[in-house]
Structure 1
Amino acid sequence: MDLPGVERVTGRVAVVLTLAVAALSVLVGILGIVDPGASFGPFADVVPASASETAEFTGAITGFLMVGSALGLRRGLRAAWYSTMILLPVTAAQGVVQATPYSVPLVVLSVLAFPVLAVARGRFDRRISLSTSKLAAGIALVGVQAYGTVGTWALRDGFPAVETPLDAFYYTLVTASTVGYGDVTPATQEARLFSLSVLVLGTASFAIALGALLGPALEARFASALGRMTQSQLESLDGHVVVAGYGDLTEPILEELRAAGRELVVLTDDDEAASRLRERDVNVLVADPSDEASLERVNVDRARAVVAATNDDGQDALDILTVRETHPDVRVVAAATERENEAKLRRAGADTVISPAVIGARFIARSAFGDRKAEREAEDVGLDAALDEDA
């Protein structure tokens, strides 16, 4: 198998392992809380009970963080790779400290996942892109929690129940989220005024955060209703086939690819064709296939191949040139409408050029003389050989 194929498979294994570790971390944490009396492993006698209980509670939290990292890995984010490499030793250590029979698979899987992530590092090279609203939401949440925690601790004389910085953080969180259990209350005028400021700023920061999170979700619902691909769907494309342009010659190619179960996305600036394709649940991005930005949006660098097969050899050549200039390692397969254009498409950068008219003529001529083998080959011919890296 070629190196890009190895990296792609290793990357998928890394995502699966990360999700498995996340699920085990949450499950083991919950089981440890339900069955706190369990004790197992070489460190069971030396680990303090308080440390084991803490690891059980924090294990579930770490598991949820791992889920976020796994989703980031699926999008190829380098930041998610770093966070996973940090969290895997944490989950392994928590499993050891929990000292329960349930934690053994967690420790083993965490240890196994670490080298797989290390080998697949090159697969996760996408930079994280945060919108202004998401950055504002994150800064607001962190800022309010820091403001409330520091302020509550500084004014702890006005909060009789606040004895540690953790108590101050707890009070800030329940106040900012409007939960307000009532177990910590301000006892002085100054503390009450400060609590009001935490309440106002906290509710505002949570509102900003909800807007930043729910906005993309609503966008996804609207995009689904309108038959459009969302940004997250585009970013998750991997090992797919990019079909550059759409024409009469493209239709049987789409049928062949879908019958083979290959993930694909059509890149066309024809709104009418895009609408018809969406009705058949074909992934479409309405954009110019010869535009570099359009190719970036459909993750052409992660594509298995690019297929340029419309009825316009000139446009196909332009699309091929754009792909080859920006992504020289991506395999490009082209179909030549005119036989004399085969050499031109190869010079444009196509790895494989197929002339349907010439191939069809040869099969017809052989079949006319009773060549049954030619008839069977004509029925079975497809794109698999053209898309194969070793073809």
Structure 2
Amino acid sequence: MIRLPLVRQGPLRALAIRLAAAITLVLLTVGVIYLDRDGYRDVNGDGLTLLDCFYYAVVSLSTTGYGDITPVTPDARLMNIVFITPARVLFLIILVGTTLEVLTDQYRNSLRVTRWRRKLKDHVIVCGYGTKGRAAVSALLETGYDKSRIIIVEGRDAALRQAAANGLVAIEGNATRSAVLEEADVRKAKAVIIATDTDEASVLISLTVRQLTAGQVRIIAAVREQENAALLKQSGAHHVIVSSSTAGRLLGLTTTTPPLIDVVEDLLTPGQGMALAMRSAERAEVGRNPRELQTLVVALIRRGKVVPLGGEQSMTIETGDMLVYIRDEEHRGVDLPV
């Protein structure tokens, strides 16, 4: 089931509005009848009291109509035509408003899903909206990625509600199932981020995505154990991040060389000090050594592979290279996120 982000009012507020509208309509009808009470005939023959007006209004609006009070003058009958009958229809609409609202919401949601699917392309699917999934989405949004092009696949109801509350499209289901990934249009996706709680689920999702997309969609996955990283790459993942090992290395750096962890956090946090970025090599930079540029280049991406700049080997920039560099966040330009 696809859950599009939607701002809705609470059920108590909706019920209170309907109740107030129904009471207002009844009171208005009573007032109209009471002003023209001489035009009605009561079987008791003693005229209409205020209570009789309330009684006639309620039985008329609810279409019960016992017939013990009837309009007899032309003015009273005309008032029944131009006011009481439309009020009766409106009152019925209020009574069945809940059903109508459900049907309307279903139609509206179906229409929104159709429009959403028509525009969906080059999106990112995030499998799992736990701690890792939320952090991945935050990183995408911080680098300027459009929120409407992020789809969450999650089976837990609490996580689905949180994703919808954050304005994200959420699909309920297990990402290891082909049908669920088909709902997310995985074949049109730009990338799939696997951020599940277990390594076994990550491997199954990677295999499923590779089978559905024939390896055409980039898969980025996180695993807990280092020994499962190779298995995940064999399953089709292009990039694997070992969360336990990465956290352990950061803990070690914090213990032995505390300032280094501050530098790493600064590089990984957009909008603060320095940040890693990537851009295409300019024509004037082709043939030059990356170390000669004013930009602090730390690596080259050549034909999809990382070319480190360490060592004494002389290296020049080629056409089509991507430059990975450290950017000053205070003077940031238009770059591609790393």
Q: TM-score over 0.5 for the alignment? A: no
TM-score (norm. length: structure 1): 0.39
Higher helix share: 1
The structure whose Rg is larger is 2
Identify which of structures 1 and 2 has the higher relative contact order when contacts are C-alpha pairs closer than 8 Å and 6+ apart.
2
TM-score (norm. length: structure 2): 0.45
